[in-house]
Structure 1
Amino acid sequence: MDNHARIQATWRWPAFTALHLLVAVLLLSWVPETGRELWRAAGAHLFTVLHGTLGHSASWDLLWALCSTRLWDVLAGALMLTLLLHQGWAFRGAETRRALFHLLALLLILVVLRTLFSKLVGYFHWQHASPSMLIPNSFRLSESFPALERLFEVKDRSSRSFPGDHASVLIVWGLFMACFSRGWKLAASTGLVVFCSLPRLIAGAHWLEDIAVGGVLLAALAFAWGYCTPLGGLIAAGLERASQPLLPVLRRLPLLGNWGVLQSR
């Protein structure tokens, strides 16, 4: 079997349909006022449980303060990129380049969908502030660690927390890796997505609905249209063609030159 054929956005009707059904269920559970009240009640309970662990141990607070910074977002992104490009994790040899461009295509589609969805959120007045700003006596990690706040910004509050952009990116990556990972590697990738989603919930930057509705909805639509139709493949092919002039230069660089993502097919 051609390894490159494994990584090809094409019509996948069962997955395309299932993802859109998931989106419909989420919207039907959340758009009605009563549905949003139930989601908010569940989010408030989860906030009480998770956020309630803060303020009792300085080391515990520091852990989640660090994981709520922009620096951690960069490090987590670097780790996810490393797993994507690592030889033998999910892809091998030159097929890593195809995987990289397909993931970039998915993320571009996600950005477009997020922009369009933000218009709907504004029009229907669905936007809201994070729980740390609405629930009294919330513990502020940014105030407990002012040096971290000054250096890297601790994400523990937002006046516009819906949908969870951070979570949608994580979920898109997780869905893509799940297509090519099995066993403990699949569990590790899934665990990374869950762990990297937790800081925003524990710190109080997001409600449960921001991630479980907004983040999942956007990720599901991006994956449905980006990998379960030919659209993502067309975008990936365009990105790959545009990168061709850079490849000979990158192959001559120390360390980078041996990466599978830069090798000829």
Structure 2
Amino acid sequence: MKVQWKRLLGFNLTGLILLLSWALPHGLPWTDLDDRIFWTFNQWITPDNGLWDDVLALLNTRFFDAASFAVMGVLFSVAMRRDPRPDRWRRWLGIGVTMLLTAGVIAVVTNKAITYGHPSPTRFFAHAAHLTDIVSIPTKDSASNSFPGDHGLMLMIFAGFMLRFADRRTAGWSVAFVLLLSAPRIMVGAHWFSDVYMGALSIALLALPWVLCTPVAGGMTRFVQRCLSRLPLAR
């Protein structure tokens, strides 16, 4: 695979524009948008909305995080089963290893390179309603530093790899699940909208194309395939 310069530069330019729209004094009104989205959902967090409170709490538990990973696992399995190649299981193990390595490197670089941070809206606004004050379910509704949205970033990395390697239907579902599975963090106030759709998305647009639009992802996948083919159990 050759370097897809048009896609790479297009994605990088989009990510850079997102960053500039947030960083420049007269850029897009991210602050106003963040406030509006937060208060739209926060006003529904009251003792009078018991069922809604419980559902929102469940969507922000460690169990739901595990369910999110399970959903990605199912989509990954579906993509592998739909792959017509005879050596598909080794190929997709290679894709999986490459994806995990990519996610790990991006996470480490992000944590070291980004020195900026800010608290979640539930900690920023003193009079915000806290779900943990209402429900007995152990849930997460705040963070001392919510930027960027790490949960959303991992979902975007997965979706990026599905767009690169999977069939169109599976890739489409992967993108849809980015929206669905990242929404609960925003709805409960543990993340600002911009933490995910400016912070995480800009990182994904700047970093992922250098793996997926170049020979890096394909080369790493083939390397893992060759290593697996040499194992006694793989023969």
Work out whether 1:78 is the aligned partner of 2:64: no
Aligned to 2:194: 209
* CA 31–62 in structure 1, closer or farther in 2 if over 3 Å, else same: same
- Structure 1 25/61 Cα, relative in aligned 2: closer, same or farther at 3 Å? same
Structure 2 counterpart of 1:24: 16
Q: Which runs of 5+ in 1 are unaligned?
A: 1-8, 249-262
CA contact (8 A) 1:109 1:222 kept: no
Alpha-carbon spacing, 1:141–1:230, altered in 2? closer, same or farther (3 Å): same
Cα contact 2:53–2:131 (8 A) shared by 1 = yes
Q: Is 1:140–2:130 an aligned residue pair?
A: yes
Pair 243,61 (structure 1): closer, same or farther in 2 beyond 3 Å? farther
User: Amino acid of the residue matched to residue 4 of structure 2?
Assistant: R
**TM-score of the two chains, using structure 2 as the length reference:** 0.84
Q: Does 1:130 align with 2:120?
A: yes
Shift of 1:90: 4.7
What secondary structure sits across from 1:86 in the alignment?
A: helix
Conserved? CA contact 2:121–2:192, under 8 Å: yes
Identity across matched positions, percent? 28
**Residue 39 of structure 1: aligned partner:** 30
- 8 Å Cα contact 1:26/1:213 also seen in 2: yes
* Aligned mate of 2:60, from 43, 68, 77: 68
Summarize the alignment of residues 4-23 of structure 1 with structure 2, pairs less than 5 Å apart: 11-23=3-15
- The number of residues matched between the two structures is 232
Contact 1:142 1:156 in 2 (8 A): yes
- Which deviates further from its counterpart, 161-170 or 233-242? 233-242
Tell me the CA shift for residue 120 of structure 1. Answer: 3.4
Distance 2:55 2:118 in 1: 27
- Give the partner amino acid of 1:155: K
Other structure's SS at 2:34 match:
helix
Query: Which of 21, 33, 39 is the equivalent residue of 1:48?
Result: 39
Q: Would the aligned equivalents of 1:110 and 1:222 in 2 still touch at CA under 8 Å? A: no
Unaligned runs of 5+ residues in structure 2 are none
TM-score (ref. length: structure 1): 0.76
Partners of 1:85 and 1:97 lie apart in 2 by: 12
Letter in 1 for 2:110: F
Aligned to 1:112: 105
More displaced, 186-195 or 130-139?
186-195
Measured after TM superposition, the shift of residue 50 of structure 1 is 2.4
Q: 1:10 to 1:173 in 2, by over 3 A?
A: farther
